[in-house]
Amino acid sequence: MRNIKLTISYHGKYFSGWQTQNSGVITIQEEIEKALSKLLNENIKIIGSGRTDAGVHAIAQIANFKTNNKQIPLTAFTCGLNKLLIKGIAVLKAEDIDIDFNSRKSAKKKTYIYQIYNDRIISPLDEDFYYLFKYNLDIKKMKDASKYFLGEHDFASFAAAKNSTNTTIRTIYDIKWKTENKKIFFEITGSGFLMKMVRNIIGTLIEIGNNKKNVDSIISILKSKNRNFAGATAPAKGLYLKEVFYA
């Protein structure tokens, strides 16, 4: 038995999220499983490091699967597999990994990026990858407010309404900002993220940058544990899973 670790990149526009669904929609997990099953002539199920929502992109999503095929070379899980995959997904790397490795349970932290284009008009070359926000943003206020997320907090106010996890407590280790003309890049690293948590954080920070909320309102929003107090959910197309970290 082999355990194979895959590093995967995908364009979220083409898919209804990562997780296989029963509604006939196209998902990343299902497409990779179909391609692997054909390649290996086995019924393959993969485990992802986490579920990304419909429209969310991945620079380096991690998944693993087990196979009885000990002969097939690793290049078959990159070059060969990519020939079978549909548009919008690419397997960047394949590795033999310890049999006990589980891409979800073994993950220690993750980094997400959110991209905002702050102008009235956006190039069609960028529109799939940025949230176009047409009104003025005070970036300094957004940076100052984001510091309140650092550390361990209950993020119930920033979770999707249908969140089903056992706990809404998460730890944020680092937050970075970068601007290039009209482009704003927000990077956040944490122990894990609730459904739509990063998009809800961004939506709230945008309201602060647009002077609809105060910088220190993050404190009361966190304490409230009430989703209604946070900002609107930012669009999925600005969000990327950048990296998953393991021990």
CATH of the domain at 176: 3.30.70.660
pTM for the whole structure: 0.94
My answer on whether 131 and 185 are in the same domain is: yes
Residue 143: domain span: 108-246
The candidate with the shortest Cα–Cα distance to 91, out of 5, 20, 151, 167, is 5
| Residue 50 forms part of a structural domain | yes
Give how far the C-alpha of residue 79 lies from the chain's centroid of Cα atoms, to the nearest Å: 25
Instruction: Say which of 53, 96, 138, 216 is annotated catalytic.
Output: 53
pLDDT digit string, tens, across residues 3-34: 999 999 999 999 999 999 888 899 999 999 99
My answer on whether 137 and 230 are in the same domain is: yes
My answer on whether 157 and 216 are in the same domain is: yes
| Residue 103 forms part of a structural domain | no
My answer on whether 138 and 210 are in the same domain is: yes
My answer on whether 145 and 75 are in the same domain is: no
Residue 161: band (very low, low, confident or very high) from pLDDT cuts 50, 70, 90 = confident
pLDDT at 54: 95
- Encoding tokens for residue 190? 């944490």
Quote the number of domains for the chain.
2
The one-letter amino acid code at 86 reads: I
pLDDT digit string, tens, across residues 29-77: 999 999 999 999 999 999 999 999 999 999 999 999 999 998 899 999 9
| Residue 224 forms part of a structural domain | yes
pLDDT at 166: 83
| Residue 102 forms part of a structural domain | no
pLDDT at 56: 98
| Among candidate residues 46, 77, 97, the one where a domain is terminated | 97
pLDDT digit string, tens, across residues 211-240: 999 999 999 999 999 999 999 999 999 999
My answer on whether 158 and 206 are in the same domain is: yes
| Among candidate residues 34, 65, 97, the one where a domain is terminated | 97
Three-point CA angle 196, 202, 203, nearest 5°: 85
| Residue 189 forms part of a structural domain | yes
Cβ pair 178, 185 in contact under 8 A: yes
CATH of the domain at 50: 3.30.70.580
| Residue 124 forms part of a structural domain | yes
My answer on whether 149 and 190 are in the same domain is: yes
Q: What is the CA radius of gyration of the chain?
A: 19
Separation between Cα atoms, residue 238 and residue 247, nearest integer Å: 28
My answer on whether 227 and 121 are in the same domain is: yes
**53 classed as catalytic:** yes
My answer on whether 66 and 184 are in the same domain is: no
Q: Which residues lie closer than 8 Å to 196 by C-beta, 6 or more apart?
A: 53, 158, 159, 160, 233
| Residue 223 forms part of a structural domain | yes
| Among candidate residues 65, 97, 129, the one where a domain is terminated | 97
My answer on whether 187 and 240 are in the same domain is: yes
pLDDT digit string, tens, across residues 193-209: 999 999 999 999 999 99
pLDDT at 163: 65
pLDDT at 22: 81
Three-point CA angle 51, 196, 139, nearest 5°: 130
Cβ pair 12, 51 in contact under 8 A: no
My answer on whether 15 and 71 are in the same domain is: yes
pLDDT at 164: 65
Average pLDDT, the chain: 96
Separation between Cα atoms, residue 120 and residue 94, nearest integer Å: 42
| Residue 161 forms part of a structural domain | yes
My answer on whether 35 and 131 are in the same domain is: no
